[in-house]
Amino acid sequence: MSNELAAPPPEHERPWEELIGALEADDAAKIAELVDALTSEEARRAFSRLSSDDQQRVVAALSPEQAAELLESLPEAQAVDLLGEMDPETAADIVEQLPDNIGADLLQEMDEVDSEAVLAELDDADEADHLRELTGYPWDSAGGLMTEAFAAFSVTHSVGQVLQELSENAEDYSDLDVQYVYAVSDLGELRGVLRLRDLVLTPRLRKIEDIMIKEPASVQALDDLPKLVGIFNERDYLGLPVLNEAGIIQGVISREAVNDAAAEHLAEDYLHASGIVGGEELRSMPMKDRALRRLSWLAPNIILNLVAASVIAMYEDTIQAVIALAVFLPIVSDMSGCSGNQAVAVSIRELTLGLIRPSEFIRVVWKEGILGLINGLVLGILLGSIAAIWKSNVWLGLVIGSALWLNTILSVLLGGLVPLLLKRFKIDPALASGPILTTCTDMCGFFLVLNLASVVLAKLA
């Protein structure tokens, strides 16, 4: 017998094939067994390869508990689509098994009629009302990001009573990552916060009211993400209590939840800037929906590009006289566009994180203007030198270098300012900044190159 250690079982390389086989055999028990054996990553990968109908059939073969666990591991957009395709009673059975915050997030993303139909099927009317309340919070607000699991005790408790209750219910509290204990009134109003170390090191007979931090820092349930990011950036909080308008504690929001939400905002902004509109897109979605999402941005872009191309048509004679200009036109516009996109990204990020307001134009002009002067000069010298050496014509180098320098200054100013202007007019800056910047930098780049070339045309020919 070999003494070699047994090799670990291989991970599921193509888990969707096993699921398809079980679906073809109509073997519900096998489907449940396969799903139960998948890791979260494998489940996401497998479902991305299944058709919408097969996804529904897999979920239908699972118990509500299993289905809820599966939906937790899937991308939100996919989980929402699955719930939306189910009959309300089945969807309600699954929602009942989900943590309240996750269930509320999915219901919030569903069509309002479908969401209400699911809530109407919940067995517990109080639970339905609670989920309705949670879906009323924007997903990126304190109420939408908070967890409702926290340790709170009456302000009249003694230290010994709190420690005893924590000890007796240690299994329940172990999942909460308890580092703070909250003192509340009989109505649930926040009165103070206690650190665990203070509880442990204090005589058991003392009232928690005597040692708690009074008037602790907190946030309101409707506080938005920029405000939350600012609060957590200013102070090194691990978490903060979330209060409603009456001062009653609703939950606790963690630094990690705020950071994750900020990262998700940046990811959405990137998708918008890339022309992916209408929400999150996955390749498992119907082809028609994906095509329409992208075309809604690409089709109008034809008009914007025709505007930029019209500048070239105005200087057709200049291009025919100096063919080399045609080589450098796209380089000048592209290099300037890249510089402008960098400025767009910084402005959108600062707006998202609450580091800048839409009215702070002067700050952006100053910061980006200096940067544009420096980078434009360096890039202009580099490209102008290449043009001069290639065609043995200093004047060509001056035309190309000057055009790139001026267009870079213009593009970073536009890139920095356009998101602020759009935000001020309630337009999504991530979606609209790109097309505006691209059209302007192309049009101005073409105009600068061709206009400067026309001025010194005799020295270029």
pTM over 0.75: no
- Provide the domain count of the chain: 3
Please give the residue that has the higher pLDDT: either 174 or 259.
Answer: 259
- The confidence score (pLDDT) of residue 124 equals 84
Mean pLDDT of the region 71-93:
88
Choosing from 237, 258, 279, the residue where a domain stops is: 258
* Beta bridge partner(s), residue 153: 183
For residues 294 and 423, membership in a common domain is answered with yes
For residues 252 and 358, membership in a common domain is answered with no
The closest of 48, 18, 46 to 33, measured between CA atoms, is 18
pLDDT band per the 50, 70, 90 thresholds, residue 144: confident
pLDDT band per the 50, 70, 90 thresholds, residue 386: very high
Kindly tell me the sign of the dihedral angle through the C-alpha atoms of 48, 52, 58, 64.
positive
Q: Are 200 and 167 in contact (CB under 8 A)?
A: no
Most confident of 6-15, 170-179, 180-189, 297-306: 180-189
- The confidence score (pLDDT) of residue 6 equals 42
| pLDDT over 70, % of the chain | 86
For residues 444 and 364, membership in a common domain is answered with yes
For residues 159 and 221, membership in a common domain is answered with yes
- The confidence score (pLDDT) of residue 18 equals 84
For residues 252 and 301, membership in a common domain is answered with no
Mean pLDDT of the region 358-366:
88
β pairing state of 180-184 and 190-195: antiparallel
Domain that holds residue 246: 152-258
Tell me which of 111-115, 122-126, 285-289, 360-364 is least confident.
285-289
For residues 135 and 167, membership in a common domain is answered with no
For 405-423, the pLDDT digits (tens) are: 999 999 999 989 988 888 8
Mean pLDDT of the region 312-333:
85
**CA pair distance 153, 162, nearest whole angstrom:** 7
For residues 351 and 228, membership in a common domain is answered with no
The closest of 321, 369, 177, 148 to 243, measured between CA atoms, is 148
Q: Is residue 425 part of a domain?
A: yes
Is the predicted pLDDT of residue 190 greater than 70, yes or no? yes
Q: Is residue 406 part of a domain?
A: yes
Is the predicted pLDDT of residue 220 greater than 90, yes or no? yes
Mean pLDDT rounded to a whole number for the chain = 83
What secondary structure does DSSP assign to 94-146, as a single string? HHTTS-HHHHHHHHHHS-HHHHHHHHHT-S-HHHHHHHHHHHTS-TTSHHHH-
pLDDT band per the 50, 70, 90 thresholds, residue 351: confident
Choosing from 241, 258, 275, the residue where a domain stops is: 258
Please give the residue that has the higher pLDDT: either 30 or 356.
Answer: 30
Q: Are 453 and 312 in contact (CB under 8 A)?
A: no
Tell me which of 158-172, 192-206, 298-312, 374-388 is least confident.
298-312
For residues 232 and 301, membership in a common domain is answered with no
CATH number of the domain at 179, please: 3.10.580.10
Mean pLDDT of the region 294-302:
67
For residues 42 and 88, membership in a common domain is answered with yes
Give me the half-sphere count of Cα atoms (radius 13 Å) on the Cβ side of residue 30: 13
Is the predicted pLDDT of residue 365 greater than 50, yes or no? yes
For 207-229, give the secondary structure using H, E and C: EHHHHCEECCCCEECCCCHHHHH
- The confidence score (pLDDT) of residue 183 equals 92
**CA pair distance 431, 448, nearest whole angstrom:** 27
- Can you read off the two tokens belonging to residue 428? 């999504």
Torsions phi, psi for 253 (to 5 deg)? -110, 135
Q: Is residue 103 part of a domain?
A: yes
**CA pair distance 419, 364, nearest whole angstrom:** 11
pLDDT band per the 50, 70, 90 thresholds, residue 52: confident
Residue 125 C-alpha from the chain's centroid: 33
pLDDT band per the 50, 70, 90 thresholds, residue 140: confident
Mean pLDDT of the region 87-104:
89
Mean pLDDT of the region 175-181:
71
- Can you read off the two tokens belonging to residue 119? 């809530």
Choosing from 139, 168, 196, the residue where a domain stops is: 139
Q: Is residue 418 part of a domain?
A: yes
Residues ≥6 apart with Cβ < 8 Å to 289? none
pLDDT band per the 50, 70, 90 thresholds, residue 404: very high
- The confidence score (pLDDT) of residue 8 equals 40
For residues 190 and 232, membership in a common domain is answered with yes
Is the predicted pLDDT of residue 272 greater than 60, yes or no? no
Q: Is residue 7 part of a domain?
A: no
Is the predicted pLDDT of residue 10 greater than 60, yes or no? no
With tokens 């190159």, the residue in question is: 449
Categorise residue 151: left if φ over 0, alpha if ψ from -120 to 50, beta otherwise.
beta
Is the predicted pLDDT of residue 188 greater than 80, yes or no? yes
Is the predicted pLDDT of residue 259 greater than 70, yes or no? yes
Q: Are 286 and 417 in contact (CB under 8 A)?
A: no
**CA pair distance 203, 53, nearest whole angstrom:** 62
Q: Are 402 and 422 in contact (CB under 8 A)?
A: no
For residues 409 and 324, membership in a common domain is answered with yes
Q: Is residue 6 part of a domain?
A: no
**CA pair distance 30, 22, nearest whole angstrom:** 6
Helix (H, G, I), strand (E, B) or coil at 354: coil
Strands (E), 31-164: 152-154
For residues 167 and 84, membership in a common domain is answered with no
